[in-house]
Structure formats: C-alpha cells, structure tokens
C-alpha cells in the first residue's frame, strides 16, 4: 500500500509535485477571468514532461467541481509557457 506515496513526488511523472503549475481554467458564467475556486489543470514544469491532471479545490460546503479542460492545443500552449518559465539559467539543475 505504498505505491505513490514516495515523499512529495508526482504520482504521474515522478517529478517534485510541489513544482507543478496549477492553472485555473474555469470561468463563472459571464466572468472574463478563470476562477481558481472552480479548479483547472495541473502541468509539470520539467521540459518534455507530458504530465497532466485536473484539480479542484475541496470545499466542505460546495459540491465536487469538475473543472473545464481546455482543448489539447491550448494545453500544449500552456505547457510550453510553463516549461519556459522554469529556465535553467537561474539555478542548478539536478538530472
């Protein structure tokens, strides 16, 4: 019973889960900006990593939310943005 509980690593890709980017993707009706309370998608900042998951905040008072998942090309665009932000010039990389 210890499959995916190895410290703080992502169960999907094995990279540090704390470094993953949480992107809000769901808008309230009529809202122009995504609302973090409605959940979204989670992407890994490691170059080439294809890790993908959805997330939603857990509120005891609210029903479970199913976040909106963007089309595939939009996800790929977000992934590129995120993986560029994590630039190796600012620190030491451990490979």
Site map 29..68 versus Zn ion, x via CB under 5 A: ---------------x-x--x-x-----------------
| Region near Zn ion per CB under 5 A, out of 13-21, 27-35, 57-65, 79-87 | 13-21
User: In this structure, what DSSP letter does residue 19 have?
Assistant: G
The enclosing H or E element of 77 equals helix 72-85
Task: Label residue 46 exposed, middle or buried (CB < 10 Å: 0-12, 13-18, 19+).
Answer: buried
Region at 29 (left for phi over 0; alpha for psi -120 to 50; beta for the rest): beta
| Region near Zn ion per CB under 5 A, out of 9-17, 33-41, 54-62, 78-86 | 9-17
- Residue of 9, 12, 57, 86 interacting with Zn ion (CB under 5 A): 12
Interface contacts to Zn ion, rule CB under 5 A: 10, 12-13, 15, 44, 46, 49, 51
């Amino acid at each position: 019973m210890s499959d995916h509980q190895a410290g703080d690593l992502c169960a999907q890709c094995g990279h540090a889960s704390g470094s993953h980017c949480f992107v809000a993707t769901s808008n309230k009706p009529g809202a122009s900006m995504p609302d973090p309370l409605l959940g979204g998608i989670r992407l890994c900042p490691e170059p080439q990593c294809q890790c993908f998951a959805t997330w939603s905040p857990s509120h005891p008072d609210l029903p479970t939310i199913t976040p909106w998942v963007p089309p595939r090309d939009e996800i790929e665009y977000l992934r590129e943005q995120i993986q560029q932000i994590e630039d190796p010039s600012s620190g030491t990389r451990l490979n």
